[in-house]
Structure 1
Amino acid sequence: MSGQISWVELPAADTARARAFYCGLFGWGTSEFGPDYHVIGGGPAGAIAPRGDGFTHPRVYFGTGDIDASAKQVRELGGHSEDVQTIPGVGRIAHCHDDQGTPFSLYEPAAQD
């Protein structure tokens, strides 16, 4: 799982328009997961979400089995990692930039009981 793309977020100024576009283009469906956050069905593992500061291009999440160690390694390799965030029932994420400024995110799934 480490290093594999596990999730993609597509930013949109108008998520209703983006959903109509991508669902029309690819035949996807969507379901609302949170306020204006729409999980893609019948397509890649991901969501359509509101565009925001620093979130203007698709965001790729790479899986990791130990997000704390991976975030630390990002910094050791000259990149930047924001604080690790816990998403209840989903797992933990950290938004990062590599040593050349390219944004990406890390994802560690929640432990299964």
Structure 2
Amino acid sequence: MSGEINWLELPAADTARARTFYGGLFGWSTSEFSENYHVIDNGPAGAIAPGGDGFTHPRVYFAADDVDAAVKRVHELGGTSEEVQPVPGVGRIAHCHDDQGVPFSLFEPAPRS
């Protein structure tokens, strides 16, 4: 369903330390998805990821049935977005800002076979 929060990413300068912290706080375990990107196994749908320039706070992804249409609507409403990016085998994402500069992301899952 469009608009539901369907993923989150927690940025960390040291992902191993972050995994230890959140594991100790919430009992989460993680699995490595790609280098230094760890999916949360037993918590919210999301991951602990390397932080960096512009990625210093949790990133929330909202479901989009059609990410291209959603990005177009973001622009019509005064927001901004980066280019839509494919995530092979997973879907498509777009990092955006609303009309007040608040960051969020959109996620369109890959079609199921």
What is residue 7 of structure 1 aligned with on the other side?
7
Runs of 4+ off more than 4 Å: none
User: How far does residue 24 in structure 1 lie from its aligned partner after superposition?
Assistant: 0.8
Identity between Structure 1 and Structure 2 (%): 74
Aligned to 2:108: 108
Report Cα offsets for 1:33-71 as digits up to 9, x if no partner.
001000001100000000111000000000010000000
Q: How many residues align?
A: 113
Which runs of 5 or more residues in structure 2 are unaligned?
none
Equivalent residues in 2 for 1:51-70, closer than 5 Å: 51-70=51-70
**Offset of residue 25 of structure 1:** 0.6
Alignment map for 1:1-113 (pairs within 5 Å): 1-113=1-113
Name the TM-score, length of structure 1 as normaliser.
0.99
- 1:78 to partner: Cα distance: 0.2
SS in 2 for 1:106: strand
Give the Cα separation in 2 of the matches to 1:13 and 1:88. Answer: 25
Q: TM-score, normalised by structure 2?
A: 0.99
Unaligned runs of 5+ in 1: none
Alignment-mate amino acid for residue 41 of structure 1: D
Computed over aligned residues only, the root mean square deviation of the Cα atoms, in angstroms, reads 0.4
